[in-house]
Every structure is written in structure tokens, then in C-alpha cells.
Amino acid sequence: MTPPPPPDDAAASSAPHASPGVSINTAFPDPGLLELPWELPLEDWPSEVLAAYPRGLSRHVVRFARVGERVVAVKETTARYARREYGLLRTLQRMGTPSVVPDSVVTDRFSPDGDALPAALVTDHLSFSLPYRAIFEQVPARDTIERLVDALALLIVQLHLSGFYWGDVSLSNTLFRRDAGTFAAYLVDAETGELHPELTRGQRGYDIDLARTNVAGEVMDLLAGEHMQRRLEEAGVDPASVDPFVISQRLVESYEGLWEELTATETFSVGERWRVQARVQRLNELGFDVEEASLDSDSAGQVHLRPRVVEAGHHSRRLLHLTGLNTQENQARRILTDIDQFGRALYPGLPEDLTAQLWMREIFVPIMSAIPADLRRKREPAQIVHEVLEHRWFMSESAGKDIPTETAAEDYVRSYLAERPDERDVF
């Protein structure tokens, strides 16, 4: 049989790219990774495989690349550090700590001339996430900056509770997602991190002192840039009103307040047993569940209560159980409030799980149906629901009567959402 002729140049150029000799270790096998140009240094990758997303500051070369329908972040480093960070991120994922999802470690990279190239760590791009520089470049109000810092403080507390010492806390190593009227923070870079059964006071203190220094430095650097100076002037904001040291001090105070509430021993008399439930309720309101606690009494009739294990995500877990919606914590809190108000107004006495299902049918589905498909990349579904509920409240307040959800959703799309930038993939 006559062998088929070799492909012409045009056909060859359109064939999928495959890197020779590369080794990919992953828990999520995807042959699309083999089509990336691993034989080239990351800084030389062609534009057709890259996604032009904003990046935080990094000591390594980092690029976003398209793999089929998804986007991944690729960071060049040594094989040892890539494997170590991959393992840390996998552990954080199993613990439920907010962090990027590790995809794979790529080793045995060589150029066409046979020169060895650095190993690479691949992580999934966090959809709807914003680097802090993208938020600052919108010239945020002071309270927005404070909410950003509070989100970072909460992330550090969650990491420390899990025994994770970060070692390089900074805004650049963090991504932020909108969470109702606040932000939720996610760890991006775990290269310097360490996992311990429990952190010492010294380890926690060093981590938070480093955070104070890094955050102040990053804000100072951002404010010194000509672009930011111009944006501030256009917005009529005095750069001197944004004090990097006040911002970094708020981070420390927010962290210390949270840590005290979550871990401090509370002492009270035996007759004040109601304080046990009150402490648990306060922790729930902060978004934490108590999985274990010590409750000891002494000969003086005093009771000593100390939460030993607390887990973030109290409201989001409750909402997931009731509706199947996977949300950030404050989004869940806002939606649960609306479900409660919805049930008391229309279905008093109905069990909560049935009320939640009716809310999904009569509130959630109409809201999402009102959002055109081409606008759904602008916000996460739960964030859209929160913003429509807020929009409905303001419309009802202005009109002096209740506004139907469908009407509020249509006005929200027309007057607000259509003008917002896409946030599923921030270009």
C-alpha cells in the first residue's frame, strides 16, 4: 500500500501543538496541557496561547494560558519548589481553606537546542477574581480599601487556625472576589508556606508583622505611580488621604480582633450558662462553626470556655444544604436573610427547607432568567442575586411600595449590569 503523502505546511501549522519529552504530574489529567509550548521559556510563549489577564507582582515569571475552555496560571520555578507548593495547595484545598486550585507540576522541559528549562507549577485561574491592583485602579473609596484589608485579615486568621504559616503575606499573593458588600480573599502563592499541627504565638506574630510591612509597602508603591496619581486627581481624591500605614494597621487590628473572638478563653459563673450559646452565636455571626470546645469548671464555681476548633463557612454551608447554591459567606448570609423574610411574608409556619425551595422557584429563577446570557460573565450568580435584592430594596424605598423581583431585575440589568466590566475573566 502506498503511504499517504506528508501533510503540507498549512496542515502542519494547524495541527495541535505537542511538547516533546515533557513530564506532567497532575490529579486532573487533561491532554490539552500537552499542547502548550513547554519547550519555550515562559516569557517567550506566543500570544495565541496566552490570556491577557492582569497579574500581581511576583518574583517569578507568571503567565495565564488557555487550555481548551479553561484558563490556567503557569509559574516557572524549580522542580523542588513546584512539587512542594503543589502539595501545600492540595492540602489547603482538602482543608477547605480559600486558595487557588493546584492543577499540575511540569518538569523535564528542554528547549529545541537541548537546554534545560525551569519546572512549572500550574494552577486553575480563579474565575470572577480581582487582583488588588485592579481594585485600586478603580480609585476605591476608603471603606472599599478597608473591606479589602479586612478580607485579607480574615484569610490570615483562617490559615493560622489551620496551622498554615504563610511566610509571605501580601496583597500581591492574594486574589479577591466580591462577596455581597464585602470581599472574600484567596491565597495564590504558597511557596514560602509551612503546615504545622498548630502555630506558635511567635509564628503568628511574625506572619502578621510581615503582612503589616508588605501591605504598607504595596500601597505606597501603588500611590507613587503616575497612573494612580492621575486617576486620583481625576476623581478629586487627595493622595494624602490614603495613608498606607493606617491601612496596614487596620489589617493588624482586624486580625487581632478576630483571633481573640475565635480562640480566647471566656470565664463566667455556673449560673451564666447562657453565655455558652451566646459565644457560639457570635462565632456563627462571624461566619464560623464551632466543631469542638473545652468547657471546664473549677472549685470556685467558675466555668472556662474555649473554642478549640472553628471552621469558616457557617452560612455558606447552611445555604448549600438548603438550596444547592455554592456561594461566598456574606452572599450566603444575605440570601438566607431574604429566604427568611420571604417565608415569613408569604409562607408563615412552613419548614425552612420547603421555604428555601419555593424561594429558589419564585425569586432565584426569575432573577437569573432576566439576565441576558452575554451579561452573565460580569458577576457570579450569587453576587447578581445579592445586587438585584439590594436594587429591589432601593427601588421599593423610592417608590414607597414593594417592587416585584422581575421588575427590579430588568431595571438592574438596564441601569447597572450592562455598564459593568466582565469579571469572570478579567482582561
Domain annotation covers residue 164 = yes
Kindly state the cell numbers that stand for 245: 500605614
pLDDT of 130-170, one tens digit each? 888 777 766 666 777 888 899 999 999 999 999 999 999 99
Please check whether residues 157 and 258 belong to one and the same domain: yes
**Does the pLDDT at position 252 exceed 90?**
yes
In this structure, the answer to whether residues 100 and 112 fall within a common structural domain is: yes
Distance CA 66, CA 56 (A): 19
Whether residue 42 has pLDDT greater than 50: yes
C-alpha 50/C-alpha 43 separation (Å) is 11
Q: Is residue 196 part of a domain?
A: yes
Domain final residue pick, 228, 245, 262: 262
Asked if residue 11 belongs to a domain, the reply is no
Helix or strand holding residue 368 (H, E) = helix 365-369
Q: Which domain holds residue 304?
A: 264-312
> Degrees (nearest 5) of the Cα angle 340, 342, 348?
80
Based on the fold, state whether residues 87 and 48 are members of the same structural domain: yes
Confidence of residue 7 (pLDDT cuts 50, 70, 90): very low
Residue found by looking up cell 483562617 in the block:
158
Give the closest residue to 173 by CA, choosing from 209, 142, 218, 109: 218
Residues 6 or more apart whose CB falls under 8 angstroms from that of 315 comprise: 287, 329, 330, 332, 333, 336
Are both 70 and 41 inside the same structural domain? yes
Cell numbers linked to 364? 432565584
SS3 43: helix
Q: Has residue 6 got a pLDDT over 60?
A: no
Say if 241 falls within a structural domain.
yes
**Per-residue pLDDT averaged across 331-335, rounded?**
91
Query: How far is 395 from 408, CA to CA, in rounded Å?
Result: 7
Cα torsion 89, 90, 95, 100: sign: positive
Give yes or no for residue 19 having a pLDDT over 60: no
Task: Give the whole-number percent of the chain exceeding pLDDT 70.
Answer: 91
424 — pLDDT class (breaks 50, 70, 90): low
Pick the last residue of a domain from 77, 103, 124: 124
Asked if residue 68 and residue 47 are part of one domain, the reply reads yes
* Cα–Cα distance for residue pair 129/316, rounded to 1 Å: 18
Q: What is the mean pLDDT of residues 245-255?
A: 93
Cell of 76: 516557572
Residues 6+ apart with CB under 8 A from 202: none
Chain-centroid distance of CA 345 in Å reads 34
- Which of 124, 159, 176 terminates a domain? The answer is 124
List pLDDT tens digits, range 99-124: 999 999 999 999 999 999 999 999 99
Instruction: Please check whether residues 135 and 110 belong to one and the same domain.
Output: no
Q: Judge if 163 and 185 occupy the same domain.
A: yes
Determine the pLDDT at residue 386.
92
Count CA within 13 A, CB hemisphere, residue 173.
19
What is the Cα–Cα distance from 45 to 111, expressed in whole angstroms?
A: 12
Q: How far apart, in whole angstroms, are the C-alpha atoms of residue 188 and residue 246?
A: 25
Flag the least confident range among 24-33, 90-99, 129-138: 129-138
Cβ contact 145:139 at 8 Å: no
Question: Residue 426 domain-assigned?
Answer: no
With respect to residue 338, please indicate whether it lies within any of the assigned structural domains: no
Per the domain annotation, does 379 fall within a domain? yes
Rg over alpha carbons for the chain, rounded to the nearest Å, is 25
Residues 228 and 255 in one domain: yes
Tell me which of 234 and 104 has the higher pLDDT: 104
3-class DSSP state of 308: strand
Poorest-pLDDT segment among 10-24, 149-163, 298-312 = 10-24
Residue type, 14: S
Q: What is the pLDDT of residue 13?
A: 38
Cell of 171: 496583597
pLDDT digits (tens, 9 = 90+) for 60-72: 899 999 998 889 9
Q: Tell me the average pLDDT across 320-336.
A: 91
CB 169 within 8 A of CB 214: yes
What pLDDT digit, counting tens, does each position of 175-229 carry? 998 888 888 999 999 999 999 999 999 999 999 999 999 999 988 888 877 777 7
pLDDT given at position 253: 95
User: How far is the C-alpha of 338 from the C-alpha of 334, rounded, in Å?
Assistant: 6
The CA distance from 130 to 183, in Å, is: 10
| 341 part of a folded domain | no
Number of domains in the chain: 4
Q: 147, 254 in Cβ contact below 8 A?
A: no
By residue count, the chain amounts to 427
Do 134 and 223 belong to one domain?
Answer: yes
In CATH, what number is assigned to the domain containing residue 239?
1.10.510.10
For residue 241, pLDDT over 80 is answered with no
Please indicate, yes or no, whether residues 377 and 297 belong to a single structural domain of this protein: no
| Rounded-to-5 percentages of helix, strand, coil across the chain | 50, 20, 30
* Mean residue pLDDT across the chain: 86
CATH code for the domain of 52: 3.30.200
Cα 103 from Cα 82, distance rounded (Å): 11
Asked if residue 158 and residue 252 are part of one domain, the reply reads: yes
- Whether residue 10 is predicted with pLDDT greater than 70 in this model: the reply is no
**Strand-by-strand arrangement of the 174-179 sheet:** 129-131, 174-179, 182-187
Range with the largest mean pLDDT of 275-279, 281-285, 383-387: 383-387
Do residues 248 and 270 both lie within one domain? no
- In whole angstroms, what is the distance from residue 337 CA to residue 343 CA? 10
Condensed to tens digits (0 to 9), the pLDDT of residues 146-157 reads 888 999 999 999
